[in-house]
Amino acid sequence: MARRSLPLALLLSVGACSSRTPPPPVATPAPAPVAKAEEGPLPGLEHLFWTSYGQDGAVLLQIKQTARSRNSCHVSVLRGGSELWTSERCLSTRAQMHFLSPDGERLLVLTREPEVNGPASDVELGVLYARDVLVRRYTVGEVLGSTSGSRIEAGMLHWLHNELPRDIPGGVRVTLADGRGEFLFFDGSGVPNSAVPQRMQAQPVRLSRGPR
């Protein structure tokens, strides 16, 4: 009887094994969500998006402008990673050159090839801001004296030398098309050519806000 019951025991054992519930599948971890890329500028506003950098010793400065419309921008200045100041004004365009003072409080903006729409002496070459307050405009009459040495092509004034403007202590040195050098200081002095800054006498002019 023991020998006859052995196959039956084996059969029952095999049946029990085959009837076991298979283990649940191992759950596959869901892929990590991909960060959504920062949305780019709206069509027609690309020229109002720009970023520029400055340095004060080992401290890095950054100024960044974005735009919601042609008259509504957001400007932020970081110094060493900490926000220094912000503005809701459109201060410049991407095509212009930007120079940030070492303390991050002043911004010099120069136009490479300004448009000539009237008297050449009144053409604006650049502007100086104290944060978002306009403190000085630089025109052909005061920077160049005249357009001799420069050239006008297709209604655009070419006033800068191939050598790009460069940072100097307290300001920026620009090389004019005729080879002369001018010093534009962050305190508003330096025109005509002078190596010693002087205090600016003109009263600051606050920019008007665009339509809301």
Q: Residues in the chain with pLDDT < 50? A: 2, 8-12, 14, 17, 32-37, 193-212
Nearest Cα neighbor of 101 from 1, 20, 184 is: 184
> What's the CA gap between 132 and 168, in Å, rounded?
22
> What's the CA gap between 151 and 183, in Å, rounded?
21
Give residue 145's pLDDT.
83
Residue 65's DSSP bridge partners are 50, 75
Where do the structural domains in the chain lie, given as residue ranges?
A: 46-185
What pTM does this model have? 0.72
Give residue 42's pLDDT.
83
Peptide bond before residue 192 is cis, with ω within 30 degrees of 0: yes
